[in-house]
Structures are given as C-alpha cells and as structure tokens.
Amino acid sequence: MFHIPRWKRLTLATSLAVSMLSLSTALTTQAIAAGKKTITAVMHSDLRVIDPGFTTAYITRDHGYMVYDTLLATDSSFKVQPQMADWKVSDDKLTYTFTLRDGLKWHDGTDVTAEDCVASLKRWGRNDGMGQKLMDFTASLDAADAKTIVLKLKEPYGLVLESIGKPSSLVPFMMPKRLAETPQGQQIPEQIGSGPFKFVKAEFQPGVKAVYEKNTDYVPRKEPASWTSGGKVVKVDRVEWITMPDAQTAVNALQSGDIDFMENLPYDMMSVLETNSDLKIDVLNKFGYQTLGRMNFLNPPFDNVKVRRAAFLALNQKDVLDALVGNEKYQKVCGAVFVCGTPLETDVGAETLIKGNGMAEAKKALAESGYDGTPIAIMAPGDVSTLKAQPVVAAQLLRSAGFKVDLQATDWQTVVTRRASQKPVKEGGWNMFFTNWVGADVANPVVNVSIGGRGTKGGWFGWAEDAEIEKLRDTYARSSSLDEQKKIATEIQKQNYEKVIYVPLGQYLLPSGWRKSLTGVLDGPATPVFWNIDKSE
C-alpha cells in the first residue's frame, strides 16, 4: 500500500483541481520514482506558463533554468563567464564572435547549432527590454558556421556581454530554431532545451506539480558552480515541484520531512522554524527584491498622468512593507529606482514614498485631475505570500485619497496571463497590478524593464510610452563613465516619478528553508537552482 504524506492528503482533499485521475497519477509517480534520489520542493508559485520567453514571472524563469542553458552566465563577482560559448571581441568593439563548446545536445538528441542560438537570441531580443536595447545597436546577427555566432554592432555598445549573460528575467535561454521561430505572441509547443534537467511532460499537472529528471547526456563545464555560471552538475535523479498554496501546510510538510525544500518561508513562522535543528535557513538572494506597483497606461483613468500622480502621492512604502514583511530584519524603505546599495542610489523624487506624507497632496491632486470616478481594477493574487499584501494596502490608500477601487481576487498565474491583455477592463483588461523584481533585474536603466518607455511597441505590461526616458536609456547605454551614468540615472528616476512610469514600494529579503539532508544549495541573484544539490538518506 502506498503512503501518501499528510500534506498531500490535505492538498488533495481541499483542492477542487485535483481529481481521482490526479491521485492515480500521483500514486503511479511514487511507484516509478521508488529508489530514485528525489528532491521535493515547494516553490514560491504554481507553474502554469512554461515558455521562459513568454513571461517575466520568476517561476517560469526558474523552470527555464532547469530545462535550458545560456550562451553566457554571471558569476558571484558580477563577471560574465562562458557557459555554452566562449567569445572574442574585435579591436574596434563592433564585432563579437561566439564559439559553441563541444558536447552540446538538445534533449531530443540533436546537436545544438549556431543557427539555433541565433534564432533564440532574436526571439529574446524581441521580448526582453535589455534584449531590445541590444538589438537597437545591432547591425547583424548571423551563424557563420555550425558552431560560430557573429554579432555586428552599428556602434560600440558596452553592455553586449552583460545582456547575453543576464541572470534573470527575461533570461536569453537557448532553444532549437524550430521553437525559437514560434510566431510572436504564441508560446512554444515543446519543452526541448539543452540544460541539466529534462521536463517530464507526462507528469506535469498545473496546480499540482511539475517534475524534472536528470539529463544524463548533459556535459557540465569544469569550473565550480557560481551563481548561474560554472559547472551545472546534477547529483539527484529527479526534482518535483509541489504546489502547496497554504503556507502552514507547506511549513508542516517541511518540518515533518515530507518535502525537502521551501523557497519562501513565511515571516510570521520564522521564530518556530529557526529552532528546528533539522532545518537550514538562509537568504539565497542576498541582493533581495524590489516590490512595485504598475499602472496601465492604455485604460482610463491611468491614461491621465494627473490621475497617476494622485495615485502615486497616496502610496507609501512603510505601510506596504509592514504588511508584506513586518520584520525590520528583512525589509528596507528605499526610494531608489535602481536599488539601494548600488552606485546609482538616489532618493530624488521619492520623498512622499519614503516619508508617507503625501495623502493630503494626493487628495488635492485627484480633485484637480478630472478623475470621473472610474473604478480602479486592481488584480489581487491570494496564492503567493509575497504578493498578497501590496494590492490590499494600495487599495485602502487609494480609497483614502478618493479613488473608487475594485479589488479583484485572483491567483498569480491568472495575473501573469491577464496582465498581457491590452483590452478595456470590461473585456478582461486591468488598471493596476503588483509584482517583485530581484535586485539584479532593476539595478540599472537598461536591465530595468519597468522603467522603459516603448509603449505598445515592445514595452512591458502597462505599456508606458515616454520618448524622453528611451532617449536617456540610450545615452546611459553609450556611457562608460560612472559619474555620467549616475547623472543620467538620476534624470531617469526624476522622469519616472514625474510621469509615474512605475512605483517602487521598497526592498525586502526572502529566507528559504531546507532539510539538512540537502547539501550544496547555491545562492545567487536568480535562485533557487537545483544543480549542485545532493541529498542524503
């Protein structure tokens, strides 16, 4: 008779999404997995969107790192390193030549080619903010032969390697040409990468679990693993991501040993977890997260900058952070668009966010804005602990300023899908949502897609259009002087707050927890990753 852990019995009993067929599949999986070294993990979110070039959602990025690999990668010293390819740069800084290393194969057994990688880079360059900027400076991108990729620039651009080696969303993952050429706006039909794990499609149950098996054909680099670079040595047979939206259930499962790893530990349970000698607790992403609010520039009333300014003035970081974290050890009020602790840190334009004293000004601004009482449709996911508080707090602050608010309860994967809609609210569109970026994704004006002003022509969800910001981002990209970069970044931040391109709502750290039977857990700006981890019985 198969043993079903208590957490799984609870999950199956309370989830309408799990049928008897799901239970049968779960039991079959246990039989197949018997004797295999398996890590069971509860991630920060359920996995539904599995195309890593289709969304910036971190759960999809994490899935991408399991299945796919990258040409370049970033180590713990912020240095770009070879991963699938080595490179050389011409003396005039206009030609970058990348050479694929030996032993690279797709999961279907075919060889990785330069044509595959060119198609992958072009797809990424259409969808990613940093990729778009690189493509603006690109004259040509071609495969010279089966193993050689040649990138030629229109003019010198100092962020070529940093762009192709960026560690977080959207990551330039490599995939076969036939998948990379999937029409714009469509998700790829297969999960075929060249990475250290293979996606087990037959066992994928959205809302229940995702399963990965070791890619026995993968040839890791010989260098030690460091952040997303180095040797991706897989030491277990399987990794199972278990969906468990109730934090208490997940914590109980971690403490009992029914799961091995929990990505996001709830702050209010830390005192109990820290006393458990069977657990290791640590912050894997030492640079933390920036939480933020994003308004939709296409739909009223936020198509009016005066209304956006009124909403901005009503919000403050401390109220959000106190509700989200509630622990001074893990939270930080920070008005810097490009993250506190970086060379680009400044509080310019963020005074009311930091001090929380903008409500009177917000009421006055709203009264003078022409706001007609249109309800603000705010998407409020209830299944992700790090995204629950922001919409609730913001809704109350906006109501206090005089806005009508429609707080729409949903789940995060619905937000991920719905935020791509440019339709009016009554047809499934939206006015505002909240999300979090790791520090590496917002640390400068080129990588930070939230700051972009491309509008509907490749802009991030919300589709802010601002020619001045785009001009300043180009100027930053061309600059090689830190002093000049600081000046440009400050001008971009001022423009962000004046036009309310997006609203940074503070920084926070997230502790993870795992059984001490796991060793080799890596830290980094895009965590967790599951190579290098071993599991003892």
Domain assignment of residue 61, yes or no: no
The residue from 148, 180, 212 where one domain ends is: 180
Extended beta strands in 342-454, E state: 376-381, 405-410, 432-438
**How confident is the model over 11-66, as pLDDT tens digits?**
444 343 333 334 434 444 554 456 899 999 999 999 999 999 999 889 999 999 99
The answer to whether 41 touches 199, Cβ cutoff 8 Å, is no
Mean pLDDT of 190-205: 98
- Across the chain, mean pLDDT equals 93
437 and 346 within one domain: yes
Domain assignment of residue 62, yes or no: no
Domain assignment of residue 463, yes or no: yes
**How confident is the model over 466-523, as pLDDT tens digits?**
999 999 999 999 988 899 999 999 999 999 999 999 999 999 999 999 999 999 999 9
Helix (H) or strand (E) holding 281: strand 279-283
| Structural domain span for residue 122 | 69-180
Domain assignment of residue 64, yes or no: no
412 and 357 within one domain: yes
What predicted TM-score, i.e. pTM, was given to this entire model? 0.85
Residue 305 has pLDDT above 50, yes or no: yes
Q: What is the CATH number of the domain that holds 44?
A: 3.40.190.10
Domain assignment of residue 343, yes or no: yes
296 and 274 within one domain: no
398 and 427 within one domain: yes
307 and 295 within one domain: yes
> What residues have CB less than 8 Å from 402, skipping those under 6 apart?
362, 363, 366, 367, 371
436 and 342 within one domain: yes
- pLDDT at res. 172: 98
Beta-bridge partners for 88: 97
472 and 355 within one domain: yes
Tokens of 219: 């040839």
Q: What is the CATH number of the domain that holds 385?
A: 3.10.105.10
> What residues have CB less than 8 Å from 515, skipping those under 6 apart?
254, 257, 260, 261, 278, 279, 280
The residue from 157, 180, 203 where one domain ends is: 180
467 and 431 within one domain: yes
What is the three-class DSSP state of 294?
strand
Domain assignment of residue 489, yes or no: yes
380 and 329 within one domain: yes
309 and 227 within one domain: no
400 and 257 within one domain: no
460 and 526 within one domain: no
- At residue 469, what are phi and psi to the nearest 5 degrees? -65, -45
Domain assignment of residue 435, yes or no: yes
Number of domains in the chain: 3
The answer to whether 148 touches 93, Cβ cutoff 8 Å, is no
DSSP string, 202-257: GG-BTTTEEEEEE-TT----SSPPBTTBS-----SSEEEEEP---HHHHHHHHHHT
* Residue corresponding to tokens 């070529």: 160
**How confident is the model over 359-398, as pLDDT tens digits?**
999 999 999 999 999 999 999 999 888 999 999 999 999 9
